[in-house]
Amino acid sequence: MPDSAPERRIRMTVAYDGTPFHGWQVQPGQITIQSELQRAFLAITRMPIVVQGSGRTDAGVHALAQVAAFTTRSRIPIANLARAMNHLLPGAIRVTSVEEVPLAFHAQWDAKSKLYEYRIYRDEICSPFERPYVHHFPFPLDDEKVIDAAPVFEGEHDFSAFAAKDERYGPGYSQVRTIYASVARREGPRLIYRVRGSGFLKHMVRNLVGTLLEVGRGNMGKEDVRGLLQGAARSASGPTAPACGLFLVEVTY
């Protein structure tokens, strides 16, 4: 009987185009990445699961290598699982690898770092085939100021000024995070921002980008950004950059 089989912990790496989905987390009446993965596995095995991701990506955010894990008593061979899942998943979601891991593995709490990339398209005209995957910003901007200011975020800081409100952030919740690398560079028509950290608060990367854009527009300076890292209010930092330019690139364990 399936329910008498031993429990197995399965880790998946998942890539997705976040455009048609309402983010990662299951929401009533909405199509999400988590709900689609759970639906596909249920259709294959007739056994429900709860897929835990390394973190929640917002609606419209993309992933090159999100990590997710679940526990099941299904006997389906690992070699067949990715093929079967991809046969049932929408084309905007692909399971790129699957492996069996110890039962104690947790996709979120065991993660050591995450790498995000934000893509800003600087030319006046943006191809309609690229527009869903970049923030089109053809307006006056000093790219060199953005590049110069990006490393200010490196180190351990209080990122309260860059966190959206969330029900998880109750009294006493620490918004201190460690950023290992924060780098911007120009690649042709794209201004690319990459940030690797121990963890990220809700909308944090998009708010870092929005603040860097304010620096590039001349509305803020590097010292203003340093001041925000002392636990300033969210209203003191830049606006939230659009979700479409953001990619989860890598999760390390």
**Cβ within 8 Å of residue 136, ≥6 positions away:** 121, 126
Identify whether 58 is a catalytic site residue.
yes
> Two tokens at 154?
């490196």
Give the active site residue among 3, 17, 58, 123. 58
Q: Which residue has the tokens 């455009």?
A: 19
Q: What is the SS3 assignment for 72-122? A: ECCCCCHHHHHHHHHHHCCCCEEEEEEEEECCCCCCCCCCCEEEEEEEEEC
Residues carrying an active site annotation: 58
